[in-house]
């Protein structure tokens, strides 16, 4: 497959001064809304307007399995991935509950679940293959599989009917894959990248580290596409494509936790201007997340100790984007308030 990624243009900074002036002129003390003011400025720059609008928000939950899980990198069997996909489709997972409260539309994409999933109107079948290969012993994906997953993700991100595309994932063993990608693309030591993941104890963490070290020793890949082929999961690769696709069409990319941030890191390494369109929802409790956020000069909106994935943190942050946009569109100017008091 020919890889023809869309070019992502940097945001136009022409409006920055006017946006700052508009924020400073609102009926509030200068800078008193802190991070929300910086978020409002970013939203205005992404949309190229002084009155940004955040209407529809969707979360795309990409699911895939990992051959590396055969090495014991997770406390759970790979079959849990398919079981959780079924739970999303029943509307009974955490992301569904939070999305109902925050008015976010949930979409589920099978990027590479190691099972034959039952057809469902809310499930997109984009399966490239049934799970990645065991990265501790061989490349996880072929170059063609990486290209196919990336381009499918680009399509889903670009075609989303929403102002904001939130990114979520499900894949047992994917913190190990993400740690390897972070290790090479940041770069950082494996010790700084590998955390407990979902439910590991000390012995489980030792097994995970041994497997990740074996995978890292097997390949010296550093180029983004090569790293994704050696260590990536299909849901991570497709997420990277979705970030590129959404950014290329001027949408806000709302990034969830550790795994989605690593997918976005890969997207940024492929198309650096993707960074301009990213809002980072929260600081995960998973080891390595704060380090990669710092490297991307990212200022997360929330810090709730989350490490679930699914897009839960991104969904919870969605109302803050709406609030930031309304700061520019709905709040009176100080001049209006003073004129009213004078009258």
In three-state secondary structure terms, 327 is helix
Residue 337's pLDDT is 87
- CB-based contacts of 84: which residues, under 8 Å, 6+ apart? 63, 93, 170, 310
Q: 205-238 as b/e, with b when 16 or more CB fall inside 10 Å? A: beebbebbeebbeebebeebbbbbbbbbbbbbbb
Residue 201's pLDDT is 76
Cβ-defined contacts of 39-44 (< 8 Å, 24+): 39/279, 39/301, 39/320, 39/321, 39/324, 40/324, 40/325, 40/327, 40/328, 41/16, 42/279, 43/252, 43/321, 43/324, 43/325, 43/328, 44/15, 44/19, 44/328
CATH 1.10.40.30 fits 13-53+327-342, yes or no: no
Mean pLDDT of the chain: 96
Domains of the chain, residue spans: 13-53+327-342, 57-324
Residue 225's pLDDT is 98
Residue 340's pLDDT is 76
List, in sequence order, every residue forming a beta bridge with 333; answer none if it has no partner: 26
**What topology does CATH give the domain 57-324?**
Rossmann fold (3.40.50)
Distance of alpha carbon 176 from alpha carbon 189, whole angstroms: 13
- Compute CA distances 192 → 85, 186, 217, whole Å: 30, 11, 16
What proportion of the chain, given as a percentage, has pLDDT over 70? 98
pLDDT tens, residue by residue, 182-233: 999 999 999 999 987 766 678 888 899 999 999 999 999 999 999 999 999 9
- CB-based contacts of 82: which residues, under 8 Å, 6+ apart? 113, 114, 115, 117
Question: Which of the four pLDDT bands, split at 50, 70 and 90, describes residue 341?
Answer: confident
Residue 275's pLDDT is 98
Average of per-residue pLDDT across 230-248 = 98
Q: 93-114 as b/e, with b when 16 or more CB fall inside 10 Å? A: bbbbebbeebebebbbbbbbbb
Is there a common fold for 13-53+327-342 and 57-324? Answer: no
Using an 8 Å Cβ cutoff, are 264 and 255 in contact? yes
pLDDT tens, residue by residue, 97-146: 999 999 999 999 999 999 999 999 999 999 999 999 999 999 999 999 99
Residue 195's pLDDT is 82
In three-state secondary structure terms, 110 is strand
Residue 203's pLDDT is 84
Average of per-residue pLDDT across 277-293 = 96
Which secondary structure element, helix H or strand E, spans residue 108, and what is its range?
Answer: strand 105-112
DSSP code for 127: -
Tokens of residue 73, six digits: 């990198």
Residue 204's pLDDT is 82
In three-state secondary structure terms, 58 is strand
Is residue 310 annotated as part of the catalytic site, yes or no? yes
Residue 1's pLDDT is 53
Residue 199's pLDDT is 62
Termini Cα distance of the chain: 69
Tally helices (H) and strands (E) across the chain.
Answer: 14, 6
pLDDT tens, residue by residue, 27-71: 999 999 999 999 999 999 999 999 999 999 999 999 999 999 999
pTM: 0.96
Question: Which of the four pLDDT bands, split at 50, 70 and 90, describes residue 306?
Answer: very high
Distance of alpha carbon 213 from alpha carbon 195, whole angstroms: 13
Report strand pairing: 278-280 vs 252-255. parallel
**Catalytic site residue from 105, 294, 310, 336:** 310
């Amino acid at each position: 497959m020919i890889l023809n990624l869309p070019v992502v243009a940097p945001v136009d900074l022409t409006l920055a001064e006017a946006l700052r002036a508009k924020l400073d002129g609102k009926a509030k003390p200068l800078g008193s809304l802190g991070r929300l003011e910086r978020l409002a400025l970013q939203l205005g720059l992404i949309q190229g307007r002084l009155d940004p609008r955040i209407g529809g928000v969707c979360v795309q939950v990409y699911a895939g399995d990992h051959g590396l899980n055969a090495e014991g990198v997770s406390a759970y069997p790979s079959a849990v991935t398919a079981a959780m996909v079924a739970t999303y489709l029943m509307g009974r997972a955490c992301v569904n509950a939070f999305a109902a409260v925050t008015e976010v539309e949930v979409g589920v994409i099978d990027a590479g679940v190691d099972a034959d999933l039952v057809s469902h109107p809310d499930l997109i079948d984009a399966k490239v293959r049934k799970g990645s290969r065991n990265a501790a012993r061989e490349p996880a994906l072929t170059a063609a599989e990486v290209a196919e997953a990336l381009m499918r993700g680009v399509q889903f991100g670009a075609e989303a009917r929403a102002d904001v595309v939130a990114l979520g994932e499900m894949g047992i063993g994917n913190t190990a894959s993400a740690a390897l990608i972070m290790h090479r693309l940041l770069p950082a030591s494996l010790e700084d990248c590998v955390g407990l993941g979902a439910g590991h104890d000390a012995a489980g963490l030792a097994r995970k580290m041994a497997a990740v070290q074996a995978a890292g020793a097997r390949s010296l890949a550093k180029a983004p596409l090569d790293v994704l082929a050696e260590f990536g999961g299909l849901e991570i690769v497709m997420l990277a494509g979705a970030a590129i696709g959404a950014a290329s069409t001027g949408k806000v990319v709302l990034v969830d936790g550790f795994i989605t941030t690593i997918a976005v890191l890969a997207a940024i390494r492929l198309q650096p201007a993707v960074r301009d369109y990213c809002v980072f929802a929260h600081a995960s409790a998973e080891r390595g997340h704060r380090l990669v956020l710092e490297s991307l000069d990212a200022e997360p909106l929330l810090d709730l100790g989350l490490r679930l994935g699914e897009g839960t943190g991104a969904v919870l942050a969605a109302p803050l984007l709406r609030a930031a946009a309304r700061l520019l569109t709905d709040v009176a100017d100080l001049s209006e308030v003073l004129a009213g008091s004078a009258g």
